[in-house]
Structure 1
Amino acid sequence: MRRASVAVILFLGASAAQASVAFHVTVTTERVNKPGVKTSLPARDTQDSDVVLGEHFISVRDGKSLSVLDFATRRRYMIDTAASTYDTYSLFDVAGFRRFEIEHRKGMAGALQAGGLQAHVTPLVYEEQSLSVPAARRRGALVPQVLDGAVLWSLDEQPLLRLGIAGSPVSGDDATAFAQYLRYTWGGHPLVLKMLAGGKRIPAAFTLHYQEVGGAVTRHFRISTMTAGAPATYSLSAYRPRPLAADASPLERVLAQAARLPPLGPQAHPALRAEAERLFAEEKPFDAFLSMLEDHFSTGALVEKLTPQQQLAMQECQPIHDLTRALLAKDKEGIQAALATVQASRKQTGLEQPVLALFEGNLRAKLGQWPEATALYLQVLQVKPHMAAVYQDLGDALLAQFDAPNAWRSWDAGRAMAPSLRQFRKVNDLERSLLHDYPAFFAGGTTLAPEVQPSTSRPASKTKTVGSTNLP
């Protein structure tokens, strides 16, 4: 019945090319909190899931929630089976978030140690266990200790994995997929996952050990009803993208709209440049300059082919000099002064002017004022949704606020509109570095797809994250 229920819910199509492994897993989590720690998390909790390890995908069903990781397209889908809807995310946001988070936790540990609060520091090996990413280069190896019917594997004298002897032999690909399932759902130290991936078996029972700020966490896994020969493909045809809610936030509205927008046509640049020419003719060089910048941020067109008269008008325009000088500020005092300059220019030009609003957002971002910067980027995109470069800045601001899923949604939307825009080199380089540094997160897929698929998912903060494929 387990095998049948998984197949029905996924609407899997049979494939003669390669079969899959399906199983039921019961995870019992036990928490032992430090004295004085108050938490709403239960001391003991049990979660049951049905898992399919496909040829290029992994699915995890937990109640009415179904998660699918597609390594061929590097997308992941969070499906509400009751509503027959799904949200789309990028696989890159998981690895990207965990890189960002491991550095954040290392910084927090350093601050606690500097403040004499060593007792509150989580051993680094357990941060790696939680996030499945290395914190630094490591030369040590897992150390086994033979127990009665099991082996306890430790690192830096910290227990990580108690592995039972019983298990089911599987192919190397299936063992790798099993480790991948753990990586995206419950974590596991990179060395632990590498060992499981190379073991060519799926254990019948094992335990993962963690430590958190609040205390110790132990998760006991039991694998049952394992079957080989489950269908190897999946389909989303029975589901539809989640519709926009009536009370959706401005961020959600902007990203949902962006996912539906087609790229600008070839007429966009001539139209924007014609507007700049009109403003030059009206002797408004500053407004013409801003119009050409809007053109650049939307189409990638450079500010060029100016007549001698236009060049002279720009050279004699003091607001242009004030703005360009302000945007070159590096130190905090200079950035604060630049912010005042841009704000004064916005008051004079009009607060709705999109390029100046973007520049104010960028200056606030330099000062670490991320919510204020985000609000300004959203203001721009609500008026000018085709200003593709703004999606890069919005994504940066979201990632700085630990919202990696929506950061990638924003970047994907901008790249779909203007894939050659130079502003996106930064996120393209980031994805290449994630593929290089964390190849295990993308095992089972193909080469990086040339086309970016915009996401239609809702913010991660509104989804269940514990034990899901969303965030650790």
Structure 2
Amino acid sequence: MTLVPALRRASVAAILFLGASAAQASVAFHVTVVTERVVKPGVKTSLPARETQESDVVLGPHYLSVRDGMSLSMFDFATRRRYLIDTAAGTYDGYSLFDAVGFRAIELRHRQGIAGMLQAGKLEQHATLPVYEEQTLSVQAPGRRGALVPQVLDGAVLWSLDGQPLLRLGIAGSPVSGADATAFAQFLRYTWGGHPLVLKMLADGKRIPADFTLHYQEVGGTATRHFRIGAMTAGAPATYSLAAYRPRPLAADASPLERVLAQAALLPPLSPQAHPALRAEAERLFAAEKPFEAFLTLLEDHFSTGALVDKLSREQQRAMQECQPIHDLTRALLAKDKEGVAAALAAVQEARTQTGMQQPVLALFEGNLRAKLGQWPEATALYLQVLQAKPHMAAVYQDLGDALLAQFDAPNAWRSWDAGRAMAPGLRQFRKVNDFERSLLADYPAFFMDAMADQPSTSRPASSTNTAGSTNLP
């Protein structure tokens, strides 16, 4: 439909900013979402053609909650944490907000890579359009530009980007404060998605629409989600409480990964005597003329406490310099190309055979070499083996988290990183994940924005001794 510029711009503004001066403290509402799918001929899918989901949503100060039946999701922007609560069992699992954002950023790059391969194979007709990848993940690809284009319909506005419909927005709605509109956009961002430009427009509109439709493209077809908002009330609770619930206990058949991460979350801080004890063991091994074993013990100390391998006597330094297994190991770990890494892997496996398969540092190094070769499940198994024997070996949680993220398990990746950082906040191995979180904060600030504050909130303390935040950022 052709727009009559002045009149239609006025209509769009009226729809978006109706009652913008009104303000409410916080709101709760019921939302019904009807998903309808149209599948291309010949495409098989297990997804239903039509499904309905009912949810109760609270947009509280600094948090939002979404209840679907017996499942309750809490998103806490003041602590950058989220909780999945089983109300029937009275239990919950806790996660980092970073995992949701980090996964989407990586998934977008992954999907872009697939689209590139399809295009190179002249199969671009099978690739999802970039605008719909952004709509699904609520993240925008770097360098992509464009503006939403409105088309006024009968009682609604259809907003499109790159010629593709994204949002059909009805006239009816409830005026709310800017903070509540921002929180409403956060609800969509973390649950159903929405293109970043669409969510920004909804946040700026200072109202919660009574009905709207989001358009998506899925593999082999399209999907539309029709939202209807009702039973809206003002004055949500100022805070929430987990007091009625307890952390979910381990199941009898819990996986080794779940057992390691659950144990890590409950571990007391490493004893101040850990470093002196490991250093004393290294001294004993030097005295017994076992420099290779002493070297491995010094590394275990470093990976557990962050202590540097220093203050060695001249005799100890000479013993290490003359120890061929140490030279073989360090040279192997410096391998870069695939053939060199494969040879290094064989060398480390031989060293494990000679020293003992349970030796934790060598098991860690084998895991790292397997990770370099893309053997992520095998690397994960080795990291778990180390942590089952040495749960306070903090640096291994960094490597385990890397392996999990490479397998698209972002929630457990951050559980692993957070556990390691809580044990040894200053360990240099965690600089990489700290930098990654800084980049997520910089590139996707909307995911972390506290609607009731001018700036994104601070993060939870990582430990009782480091209160700079769960990421230990300055």
Deviation at 1:214, TM superposition (A): 2.0
Partner of 2:458: 448
User: Post-superposition shift, 1:116?
Assistant: 1.6
How far residue 420 of structure 1 moved from its aligned partner, in angstroms, is 0.5
Alignment correspondent of 2:37: 31
The AA in structure 1 aligned to 2:320 is M
Deviations 1:333-362 (A, max 9, x none): 110110011000000001000000000000
1:366-412: CA deviation from partner (whole Å, max 9, x where unpaired): 00000000000000000000000000000000000000000000000
Structure 2, unpaired ranges of 5+ = 1-23, 465-474
Q: State the TM-score, normalizing by the size of structure 1.
A: 0.91
Contact 2:103 2:410 in 1 (8 A): yes
1:65 aligned residue: 71
1:160 matches 2:166 = yes
* Alignment check: 8 A CA contact 2:167 2:213 kept: yes
Which residue, 410, 414, 418 being the options, matches 2:416?
410
State yes or no: 1:95 paired with 2:101: yes
Local SS of the residue matching 1:414: helix
User: In the comparison of the two structures, how many residue pairs are matched?
Assistant: 437
Amino acid at match of 1:345: A
Q: Following superposition of structure 1 onto structure 2, how do residues 289-368 of structure 1 map, counting pairs within 5 Å?
A: 289-368=295-374
Pick one of 79, 91, 115 that aligns with 2:121: 115
Paired residue for 1:392?
398
Q: Tell me which residue corresponds to 1:425.
A: 431
1:271 matches 2:281: no
Alignment of 1:120-199 (within 5 A): 120-199=126-205
C-alpha distance in 1 between matches for 2:408 and 2:459? 26
In structure 2, the residue matched to 1:463 is none
- After TM superposition, give the deviation of residue 139 of structure 1 in Å: 2.7
The percent identity for this pair of structures is: 82
Between the aligned partners of 1:273 and 1:450, the Cα distance in structure 2 is 33
Deviation at 1:212, TM superposition (A): 1.4
1:118 is displaced (CA, Å) by 1.2
Alignment deviations for residues 111-144 of structure 1 (CA, whole Å, 9 cap, x no partner): 1111121111000000000000011223310000
| Contact residue 298 and residue 386 of structure 1 kept, 8 A | yes
Q: State the Cα deviation string for residues 404-424 of structure 1 (Å, max 9, x = none).
A: 000000000000000000000
SS at the partner of 2:435? helix
Match of 2:3 in 1: none
Aligned-partner Cα distance in 1 for 2:460–2:181: 29
In 2, Cα distance between equivalents of 1:134 and 1:440:
12
Q: Which has the higher contact order (CA 8 A, sep 6+)?
A: 1
Q: CA deviation at 1:452?
A: 2.2
CA distance in 2, matches of 1:309, 1:293: 19
Q: 1:466 maps to which residue?
A: none
Q: Kindly indicate whether the alpha-carbon contact (under 8 Å) linking 2:401 and 2:417 is maintained by their aligned counterparts in 1.
A: yes
TM-score, normalising length: structure 2: 0.91
Deviations 1:427-461 (A, max 9, x none): 1111111111100000117543362279xxxxxxx
- 1:327 Cα deviation from its structure 2 partner: 0.4
For the residues of structure 2 that align with 1:393 and 1:174, how far apart are their CA atoms? Answer: 40
Does structure 2 retain, via aligned residues, the 8 Å contact 1:143–1:155?
A: yes
The 3-state SS of whatever aligns with 2:118 is helix
User: Partners of 2:459 and 2:219 in 1: how far apart?
Assistant: 39
CA RMSD of aligned residues (A): 1.1
Q: What is the CA–CA distance in structure 2 between the aligned matches of 1:450 and 1:252, rounded to whole Å? A: 23
